[in-house]
Amino acid sequence: MMMVQDLLDAVSGDAIRGHVAALEGIRHPVVAPQALLAAESYIEGEFRRLGYQVERHPFTDHGETYHNLIASRPGSPETGGRVLVVAHFDSVSVSPGADDNASGVAVLLELARVLEAVRFKRRVELVAVNLEEPSLHDGFALKGSAALARRAREEGWEIEGVLVLESVGFAGDVPQAAPPLPVAAPTVGDFLAVVANEASAKVLQLFCGEVKRLGISLPLFPLAVPGNGEILPDSRRSDHAPFWDLGYPALMLTDTADLRNPNYHAPTDTIGTLNIPFATEVCRATLAAVMALAEGEVS
């Protein structure tokens, strides 16, 4: 029987690199709508190829219909609850978006491949969300994840935790800036920031605990912000924020984007700038957390 360590060893950096290469390019609803649809189709195809149930979750924005993609594995009816892993697949209008956020989607897809061998007590949903970036129409962001969080509330989902993969491929011996914090922050950008709010403290503890327990080679900077992060706006800049606002436990997993990456939202955000081994360790850490949250059993 396979063990968790076997799954960790199965994570492939080459596969992650391949997904980033396939997705790289401006993926924007106004400037490059066909490329955005092509990215959606690629992700859906990968999920279906792996045997996942895939739901196209529709929402509207300025008269147009867009979709989140939800790849599901049902859990035990007796256990209940669900675990979500989320990454957005759109980019801003001027950037090929390799780090932001082809890297997060690539990790999501590799996670789907490795977890295909796992059966869970809780339902697991791997979700590629659309329209995370600010709109050219109205300047608002997080539209796909906001629609997903509203649906969760309307349908009464029991969520154990949401893990949001937000720009997870840029790291190394680079300067790390930080907003004002009540704790000392690293000055070198070689770590993964794991950002929680007060309601997500247990999930934060579990994530960091699993990385340490399994000896995963990934420096972490855990940060729990008061309330829903209102006093630290940078802590709300991804798809976890709508879940925080509705009372669900959620973590943002991030390389801190513009606080270290000079290519953030720029034409230079390309695959050649990424640290694929770092993204591979992020995938392993996320895998370990999903296994623990969903109580996965390896077949």
Could you list the pLDDT tens digit for every one of the 299 residues in the chain?
468 899 999 999 999 999 999 999 999 999 999 999 999 999 999 999 999 999 999 999 999 999 999 999 999 888 889 999 999 999 999 999 999 999 999 999 999 999 998 999 999 999 999 999 998 888 889 999 999 999 999 999 999 999 999 999 999 999 999 877 777 889 999 999 999 999 999 999 999 999 999 999 999 999 999 999 999 999 999 999 999 999 999 999 999 999 999 999 999 999 999 999 999 999 999 999 999 999 876 65
Q: What is the dihedral of CA 207, 213, 219, 225, to 10 degrees?
A: 30
Looking at residue 221, its pLDDT comes to 97
Looking at residue 1, its pLDDT comes to 46
**What are the CB-based long-range contacts (under 8 Å, 24+) for 11-15?**
11/110, 11/114, 11/280, 11/283, 11/284, 11/287, 12/110, 12/113, 12/280, 13/276, 13/277, 13/279, 13/280, 15/106, 15/109, 15/110, 15/113
DSSP string, 158-196: -EEEEEEEES----SS-B------SS---SB--SEEEEE
Residues contacting 105, CB < 8 A, separation 6+ = 19, 23, 39, 43, 87, 88, 89, 128, 165
Q: What is the DSSP letter of 135?
A: P
Looking at residue 137, its pLDDT comes to 85
Q: Helix H segments across the chain?
A: 4-10, 13-23, 33-49, 104-115, 143-155, 201-213, 241-245, 276-294
3-state secondary structure of 82: strand
Q: What is the DSSP letter of 32?
A: B
Q: How many CB atoms within 10 Å of residue 93?
A: 16
Contact 193, 229 (CB under 8 A): no
Rounded Cα distance between 291 and 115, Å, is: 9
**Cis peptide bond upstream of 101, omega within 30:** yes
Looking at residue 181, its pLDDT comes to 77
Looking at residue 2, its pLDDT comes to 62
Give the predicted TM-score (pTM) of the model: 0.97
